[in-house]
Amino acid sequence: MIRGYIDANGVPMVNVTVGGIRSQITIPALVDTGFDGYVCLPTELAVNLGLELVISITVEMADGSMKGQLPLLIHRIRRGL
């Protein structure tokens, strides 16, 4: 079972642990009803974790705009911690 919470701004959140070849970290993540299996992380964090770059992709944002050349990385993730 995944246990989440509502933050101070009324946003549904869940803690996730993301790990790469160097380290792992548990961070709060926004619950996104449009989740398609991808997690967005700041580039600096991804590098520090040792995530492996696979390819750069174009993604559609929630407002319908397109954002190009975002890195797609390999990672491990555990939900509900």
Q: Kindly report the pTM of this predicted structure.
A: 0.62
Radius of gyration in angstroms for the set of CA atoms belonging to the chain, rounded to a whole number = 14
CA distance 46 to 76: 12
Residue indicated by tokens 């995944």: 2
Number of domains in the chain: 1
Q: Which domain holds residue 51?
A: 4-79
Q: What is the pLDDT along the chain (81 residues), one digit of tens a residue?
A: 778 999 999 999 999 888 888 999 998 988 887 777 677 778 888 889 888 777 777 878 778 888 776 666 555 555 544
Query: What is the distance between the alpha carbons of residues 79 and 81, in angstroms, rounded to a whole number?
Result: 6
